[in-house]
Structure 1
């Protein structure tokens, strides 16, 4: 938990400060032409996404779940309704008009919809006291919460893969963003499924 929390803290310390000034000129994501609300939707996504990523770190902390179940439930509600759901809805909206091209836009929308569906499925399973299903869906929701962080982490690999093949700087950036986005979604889905499958199954007669 400590290394994961440290990585998230470094990511937030790098990503959030430019948007605290409310200055569109400092945005790291260029606004598409004719979409004046883009910056403010981006701010909303960052606000809700910060709540989600901090909340989900607390939610997957085994000690907190085991010793403080009431806190786990309350933080879970904050994660779902003040974090993941609004962040995913806004992410799908601004992702659809991504300035990094139609492929990245499609990846962003798919990732946002997966995040939304996994989170809602996990919340419903918890409400219905299907705790095994709740755990599975929430692990997948956690994976999609990490999508932006994972995309940034894989960006150097994306550039290494496209640099020998593309000379134009703009096209290189678009291609690297596409590669890192695709690799992020695939990596997170595969890792979350591996985590779910790695636990030994109980004996049939138990």
Structure 2
């Protein structure tokens, strides 16, 4: 009976991973659709609307292009890195893709996001929110890389999960923005709420899960 229960659990786990990966892939693809309007920048529509006055003069364009060039790659690499099969049967591929993920986050995604945060729609609340995401993503990715270098692979995996959860805030922002847009509240407030919901609840749940896992591991070691 225990083996059957374990089998069902792992099947359910794979199904959940597949659904999550499919959702990330689908929404991530949708995020790419406005890209033709970014080269050259179209300031009359979409995300770049009303940004012409500071796009070049403030250096915003550097962070913008660094971020949009690397963030989609990070999202798609993370999907592959979630695969336990690849981690176990193709460790070299996992390691190489992981190194690519680390470098694009440290050099492109996080620094670019931090520059963009200074001009975020929604004022100081959104600026603080996206600034924290960028800083936290840089730190968690760097710590994850250091843990791997020290062969502390369980800690490495947990820190990388933190990093990728922050990466997926871009996905969750679109989801919550769509859901909250149906409410009769101010558009700016709705965006601010969506921004914080895009990562804070997920990170809290992740930390609660890791706390439980680490406590069980420590208990097993002591006993």
TM-score, normalisation: structure 2: 0.80
Q: Does 1:60 align with 2:82?
A: yes
Q: Which moved more, 1:179-188 or 1:73-82?
A: 179-188
1:38 is displaced (CA, Å) by 3.1
Q: Hey, what's the Cα distance between the residues in 1 that align with 2:81 and 2:209? A: 16
CA pair 67-159 structure 1, distance change in 2 beyond 3 A: same
Q: CA, structure 1 residues 29+190, in 2 after alignment: closer, same or farther (shift >3 Å)?
A: farther
1:181 to 187, 195, 206: 195
Match of 2:126 in 1: 104
Whole-angstrom distance in 2 between the partners of 1:106 and 1:73: 33
- Residues 66-119 of structure 1: CA deviation (Å, up to 9, x unaligned): 111111100000001024542011000111121331110110000110001000
Structure showing greater radius of gyration is: 2
Q: Does 1:24 align with 2:41?
A: yes
Write the distance in 2 (CA, Å) between the matches of 1:9 and 1:195. 24
Unaligned runs of 5+ in 1: 167-171
Are the equivalent residues in 2 in contact too, given 1:32–1:38 (CA < 8 A)? no
Give the secondary structure class of the aligned counterpart of 1:201. helix
Q: Show CA shifts across 1:129-169 (max 9, x none).
A: 111221121111111010111111111343355x2xx4xxx
Residue pair 1:52, 1:84 contacting (<8 A) in 2 also: no
Equivalence map 1:124-143=2 (5 Å): 124-143=146-165
Q: CA deviation at 1:197?
A: 3.5
Which portions of structure 1, spanning 4 or more consecutive aligned residues, are displaced by more than 4 angstroms? Answer: none
Q: Structure 2: how far apart are the matches of 1:89 and 1:63?
A: 32
- What pairs up with 1:21-100 in 2 under 5 angstroms? 21=37, 22-25=39-42, 26-30=45-49, 31=51, 33-36=53-56, 37-39=59-61, 41-83=63-105, 85-100=107-122
**C-alpha distance in structure 1 between counterparts of 2:182 and 2:200, whole Å:** 18
1:192 lines up with 2:192 in the alignment: no
- Equivalent pair of 1:24/1:39 in contact (CA under 8 Å): no
Cα offset, 1:23, TM superposition: 3.5
Distance 1:58 1:14 in 2: 19
**Consecutive unaligned residues in structure 2, runs of 5 or more:** 1-16
Aligned alpha-carbon RMSD (Å): 2.1
